[in-house]
Amino acid sequence: MKSWIITKITGTGTDEDPIRPYLADQDTVSSMMELPDGKYLCRVAGTPSQIVTILSDQDITELTDEQAKNLIHSKHPDSDIENIDVADPEIDEIAKTIGLDPHLRADIKTPSRGKQVLQDQENYLMTHISMKKGRSKQFWDDEAAKSGVHHKGIDIENAIIDGKADAHEFVLSRLREKI
């Protein structure tokens, strides 16, 4: 699971206590961008329970993709949400539980859109997980239609490749389900 947050920094900057984003004492993957007010925009990825714990902390503010994009553009006009994204370890765990090697993502070497390859790699791995779980193109078209946000499965796929957290979570929520 992934989320965008605004948080403060913790740590003194020593080897024993490096500077890092405050994530409610959760050991998650994150990347960060400094904001003018001494806060930091962070992309965090972890298990659903870790993300819920982070988002429940009163010192942390959750953002939408659009809010994160606006903050990134305000400081780096030629960048986008894909530039501060991080790999989601939950995808790797799901792949392993069904017998797929998460390193399968490395088959994708160049981005299909944008400048970063991570989103294409995650989409590729989620596609393989989906196929292994028997989720057909028709299943994703039906799920997209029910969502009221996407028209077809390809719309969800494109949103994932663009780094959209909502689309990423939309697919993961269905891949977490047992068949």
In the Cβ-directed half-sphere of 37, how many Cα atoms lie within 13 Å?
6
H or E, element range at 157: helix 153-161
Amino acid in position 83: N
Q: What local confidence, expressed as pLDDT, does residue 149 receive?
A: 86
Residue 179 has pLDDT above 70, yes or no: no
How many CB atoms are closer than 10 A to CB 74?
A: 10
* 65 shares a domain with 105: no
Confidence band of 113 (pLDDT split at 50, 70, 90): confident
* 113 shares a domain with 172: yes
Give residue 23's domain range: 2-84
Residue 102 has pLDDT above 90, yes or no: yes
Cα–Cα distance, 125 to 108 (Å, whole number):
10
117-131 per-residue burial string, b: 16 or more CB within 10 A, e: under 16: bbbbbbbbbbbbbbe
Cα–Cα distance, 92 to 44 (Å, whole number):
15
Query: Would you state the torsion angle of the CA atoms of residues 43, 46, 48, 53, taken in this order, to the nearest 10 degrees?
Result: -70
Q: What is the pTM of this model?
A: 0.87
Q: What local confidence, expressed as pLDDT, does residue 54 receive?
A: 97
User: Percent of the chain, pLDDT > 90?
Assistant: 78
Structure tokens at 150: 């996407």
* 95 shares a domain with 171: yes
Computed over every residue of the chain, the mean pLDDT equals 92
* 161 shares a domain with 96: yes
Region 91-109: mean pLDDT is 94
* 73 shares a domain with 56: yes
Which residue among 67, 84, 101 closes a domain? Answer: 84
Which residue among 84, 101, 116 closes a domain? Answer: 84
H or E, element range at 164: none
Q: How many domains does the chain have?
A: 2
- 81-92 residue pLDDT tens: 889 999 999 999
Q: What local confidence, expressed as pLDDT, does residue 98 receive?
A: 94
| Degrees to nearest 5, angle at CA 41 with 5 and 119 | 80
Q: What local confidence, expressed as pLDDT, does residue 177 receive?
A: 80
Residue 36 has pLDDT above 80, yes or no: yes
Q: What local confidence, expressed as pLDDT, does residue 56 receive?
A: 97
